[in-house]
Amino acid sequence: MTDTSTKASHHQKGLLITTVGGLLFTLDIPLLRLAGSDQWTMIFVRGIFMFAAITAWWFWFSAKDGKRVPFINGGAGWIVVATNTLANLLFIAAVTKTTAANLVFILALNPIFAAVLAWLVLKERIPLWTWVAVFLSLVGVAIIVSDGLTTGTFVGDMMAVVVALCTAVGLTVVRKTGKNVVTSLATGSLISALVAYGWAAPMALSMEGWGWLALNGLIVMPLASGLIALGPRYLPSAEVAMFFLLDTVLTPLWIWLIFAELPTFQSFIGGMIVITTLLAHSIWRYRTADTASRAHRSQYEGL
């Protein structure tokens, strides 16, 4: 297999990894709302659960492979620890300080930040169709939330901006170094939990609340975070970041199904634009990679 066909295969693998990770991320806000707790308790409990789950995963795979990746994988690992800690704290705080529409719209800035960082730091050339897809997705997002932006949410909105920037920085670091930094997410979760400990009231959580946070912190978010953290090893960081736009469309859908909050017609139209754009872009990238793989394989077989 040639180097080009190997890259094509890696790209297809990256698309699958980031798609599943992006879909799992859409469950985060609904699960937090179902827990029905204050921000500090959610940060503390979810952080402890995520630390335990990712650390257990690290020990299990290390024993299976017979070699152990450092828990903090060099400078890249420490950068991801810092960005993940800040993102954990500010994301859950933003859930309680701004509207869901504002939050998912601002988090959709991930690909914009990632593209700029890729251009500035990695000197990557972003394909034209990726830029077009990002633009169209943001148009769809703007339609979704244009009637949901309200006054009095400035602090929460600014928190969401920092979360989006932290995520883009983490993705860019992984893309630049190629290192596995999934366990850095565990450390970031633990540090954010320790920060929240003084204000948390876990004993006040109901059994149902514990269950939703356990599902979130032990299964959904560790798996989602791990897959997204692996994505930039196969795809440009800006392309990985674009899959966070799924959150903008599907989170309102889950909120509607669970809490009977019906999306407006305007939100539906915007969601269709985003979903269609992401689907079309993913198919285009997949077929481009697959065509390159087949072409080089045929050339190799003909020798």
- Residues 249, 142 contacting (CB under 8 angstroms): no
| pLDDT given for residue 255 in this prediction | 82
- Residues 104, 251 contacting (CB under 8 angstroms): yes
Instruction: State mean pLDDT over 72-94.
Output: 88
| pLDDT given for residue 45 in this prediction | 95
For residue range 9-52, list pLDDT tens digits in order.
777 777 778 888 888 989 998 999 899 888 899 999 999 999 99
- What is d(CA 122, CA 116) in angstroms, rounded to the nearest whole number? 10
| pLDDT given for residue 265 in this prediction | 79
* pTM for the predicted model, two decimal places: 0.75
DSSP reduced 3-state for 205: coil
Sort 293 into a burial class: Cβ within 10 Å, 0-12 / 13-18 / 19+: buried
More confidently predicted of 121 and 298: 121
- What is d(CA 181, CA 183) in angstroms, rounded to the nearest whole number? 5
Query: Cα Rg for the chain, rounded, in angstroms?
Result: 20
- Residues 239, 17 contacting (CB under 8 angstroms): no
For residue range 132-173, list pLDDT tens digits in order.
877 887 787 778 767 667 656 778 888 888 898 898 888 888
3-class SS shares of the chain: helix, strand, coil, % to 5: 85, 0, 15
Instruction: State mean pLDDT over 89-94.
Output: 90
Percentage with pLDDT > 70 across the chain = 81
- Residues 172, 118 contacting (CB under 8 angstroms): yes
Residue spans per domain, the chain: 3-301
Instruction: State mean pLDDT over 167-196.
Output: 85
